[in-house]
Structure 1
Amino acid sequence: MELMSLLTCPYCGHAERATMPFDACQFFYECPGCRVVLRPRPGDCCVVCSFGSTPCPPVQQDASGRSCCS
């Protein structure tokens, strides 16, 4: 299981490696570059699944690929 993801802000392009919560979804993330608070895109369970390089751990564990929190 991958616990690191590269989060990339869609507004300013700032990218930062972040440790993902193992057993929960992260619903908000403040970009260190532009201070915009990112929220999941419609249909995604968390900001990591929307803007990260790797899906969140709950989605990684779910072999069906469904959203973990909806």
Structure 2
Amino acid sequence: METQENSPRLTSVLTCPDCGHTEAETMPTDACQWFYDCKGCGAVLRPKAGDCCVYCSYGTVPCPPKQAGDDCCA
């Protein structure tokens, strides 16, 4: 299967800063995700100051708009 070089990666592994739980999630392509409920401890994750979404703060892959070189989620 061939992948396009410009296609964003849509899966990111979020790591909870409170309990260390990790979870692979599929990122939305049409909106920011400002909140995420940790499946390990129930903490509500919010973006760190200066980040546009939880994936940019706690994920292994930044959100699709950041991958495309945009400033923030649309």
Q: Aligned letter for 1:48?
A: Y
Which segments of 5 or more consecutive residues in structure 2 lack a partner in the other structure?
1-7
1:47 positional shift: 0.3
1:52 positional shift: 0.1
- What TM-score does the superposition give when structure 2 sets the normalisation length? 0.84
Which of residues 59, 62, 71 is equivalent to 1:67? Answer: 71
Q: Aligned letter for 1:22?
A: T
Q: What are the superposed Cα offsets for residues 43-70 of structure 1, whole Å, 9 maximum, x if unpaired?
A: 00000000000000011112xxx6314x
Q: Aligned letter for 1:19?
A: T
Q: Does 1:43 align with 2:47?
A: no
Query: Runs of 4 or more off by more than 6 Å in structure 1?
Result: none
Structure 2 equivalent of residue 56 of structure 1:
63
Q: Does 1:15 align with 2:15?
A: no
Q: Does 1:31 align with 2:34?
A: no
- What TM-score does the superposition give when structure 1 sets the normalisation length? 0.89
8 Å Cα contact 1:4-1:20 kept in structure 2: yes
- Number of residue pairs the alignment of both structures matches: 67
Counterpart-to-counterpart distance in 1, 2:11 and 2:55: 10
1:23 positional shift: 2.1
Identity in percent: 62
